[in-house]
Amino acid sequence: MPPERIHITTAITYSNGPPHVGHAYEYLAADSYARFMRRKLGKKNVTFVTGTDEHGQKNRDAAVKAGLAPKAFADQISAMFKQAHAGLNISYDYFVRTTDPVHEAFVQKMLARSHTSGNIRFREYEGLYCVGCERFYTEKELLPGNLCPEHNQKAELLKESNYFLNLEKYRDRIRDQIKRNRDFIRPERYRNEALKMLDEPLADLCISRPKARLDWGIELPFDANYVTYVWYDAFWAYLSELPDTSDDALKAILPVTEHFIGKDILKTHAVYWPAMLLAVELPLYRSLNVHGFLNFGGARFSKSSGNVADPLAYEANPGPDVLRYFLLRDVVYGLDGDFTEERLIERYNADLANDLGNLTSRVLSMAARYFDGEVTAHPASNREDAAICEAFAGVAPRSDAMLETLAFNRALEVIWQALDAANKYIVATSPFTLAKDPAKLPRVAEILANLLEGLRVVADTLAPFMPVTSRKILDLLAIGESIAHAPFGQGLKPGHHVKPATPLFPRIDAKRS
């Protein structure tokens, strides 16, 4: 039973470089889900947060490398991501930067709360420290001879005092939550992995960094010599800039919060984040929706090999919604996917140009040619029409059911099955043949009424996945918001006028590359 209200988040991007298709994938999945939920629960009942994670060692290092102050560098990166969100039509409500004063104040509030409730301990710590990495390693992580795997230089024994969050205290509660609730972490493979992480006792989580070592972070409210660890900082971005961050509001929003994250940050979200919440006596989130990685032509993406595509380029050409369609249709949520331009173009031609675009075109053309664009009949239900009416009527509920379980690909498949049924229906009823006999025009009108009404339902169901295209089709059908969501058969009425066809997705010549 879905809640009446929902809060959706993407990971708060920690990046020292520009956005690529891998980032875009997460935004697009979360965005489609958010749009879907808005349609279902109403705009007011959905909030959607994204943003950039700007503190920490790596960001500071990248800034130094770029010859900029950390904040100036963060401004640059953050602006790039914000621009990417806009270009990809990501419908977020809040874009949180972890350097925003509101966020910083919120984090300090939570730190203070954990501290006063006795869940944060200060103690001396001795470990093997790599000066190059500026971080501690466990012996197991190091190469023989205590060599750092990154720098191949010897890690030194270093003594440092830090603040620690007791994770072990919460291990049982977190594990119980995962066990009790099948949807807490999904898909199931990640749920299993998370459970395994909680089988063994957990070491304390270090949540501070001495300013002497790293000063690019949020100062601990109870010790001015320290800043907080970047992860502790970042999680709170999911909540920090909501309009109401009172305890009551947080207690209401967390149980309806759905996080979209990549599999690389499963542990932090399945173990650390719940412990952080429990340490301030807040409830846990509703579910963690874990997606896989995107490969590029079979190879893992890497900045150095230059196979990281710029997602915004695809919005310009082949056009808006195409990257969204491809990623959501071709990748199974939770599994790794493969991105290549060849596959993108294959999908574009086969699904968007041939199926969706051409069907829209042929239906609108007939409507224009035979009836001047006027709908002159109600959707009919002759024996011949029963199957198609059923197909159209079933699109939305069947697609929605798939989306509930994050099966974006299956949801789109359902829509395309309806397109397929429509093409078969046209051949079976041959309105273009009937139209040659004036006596049969009333029947042609019925057929077209069914098809136009079907297109409307398809366009509406498609809206979360392809918002721009959906709007374009609805515009061609001259459909306003008010009747866009009506069930099949209750939208277009006789007397309604639709517009002439225009190609939505011109075919791409395969030879061009």
Partner RNA sequence: GGCGGCGUAGCUCAGUUGGUCAGAGCAUGCGGCUCAUAUCCGCAGUGUCGUAGGUUCGACUCCUACCGCCGCCA
Q: Establish if 382 lies at the interface with RNA (CB under 7 A).
A: no
Q: Establish if 212 lies at the interface with RNA (CB under 7 A).
A: no
Orientation angle between helical segments 386-404 and 441-462, nearest 10 degrees? 0
Phi-psi sector, 334: left (phi>0), alpha (psi -120 to 50), beta: left
CB 164, min distance to RNA, A: 17
Q: Establish if 350 lies at the interface with RNA (CB under 7 A).
A: yes
DSSP string covering 477-510, please? TT--HHHHTPPTTSS--TT-B-PPP--SSPPPPT
Identify which of residues 255 and 394 has a Cβ nearer to RNA in the complex.
394
Identify which of residues 355 and 385 has a Cβ nearer to RNA in the complex.
355
Of the residues 100, 330, 446, 460, which one makes contact with RNA according to CB under 7 A? 330
Contact 63, 293 (CB under 8 A): no
Q: Establish if 446 lies at the interface with RNA (CB under 7 A).
A: no
- Residues of span 166-195 touching RNA by CB under 7 A: 189, 192-193
Identify which of residues 169 and 507 has a Cβ nearer to RNA in the complex.
507
> Residue 369: how many CB atoms within 10 A of its CB?
13
**Number of residues in contact with RNA under rule CB under 7 A:** 43
**Which residues are paired to 154 by β-bridges?**
147
- Residues of span 471-510 touching RNA by CB under 7 A: 501, 503-507
Identify which of residues 216 and 505 has a Cβ nearer to RNA in the complex.
505
Residue with tokens 């979209």: 260
Q: Establish if 54 lies at the interface with RNA (CB under 7 A).
A: no
Of the residues 346, 384, 404, 475, which one makes contact with RNA according to CB under 7 A? 346
Alpha-carbon distance 329 to 327, whole Å? Answer: 6
Identify which of residues 65 and 369 has a Cβ nearer to RNA in the complex.
369
- Please give the DSSP secondary-structure letter assigned to residue 196: H
> Distances in Å between the alpha carbon of 464 and those of 223, 380, 504?
47, 28, 18
CB 254, min distance to RNA, A: 25
186: helix, strand or coil: strand
Q: For the sheet containing 208-210, what is the strand order? A: 208-210, 223-228, 219-220
CB 272, min distance to RNA, A: 12
Contact 492, 456 (CB under 8 A): yes
Of the residues 1, 212, 427, 439, which one makes contact with RNA according to CB under 7 A? 427
Contact 37, 46 (CB under 8 A): yes
Given the rule CB under 7 A, which residues bind RNA? Answer: 140, 189, 192-193, 196-197, 200, 263-264, 267, 330, 332, 335, 338, 346, 349-350, 353-358, 360-362, 365-366, 369, 420, 423-424, 426-427, 430, 432-433, 501, 503-507
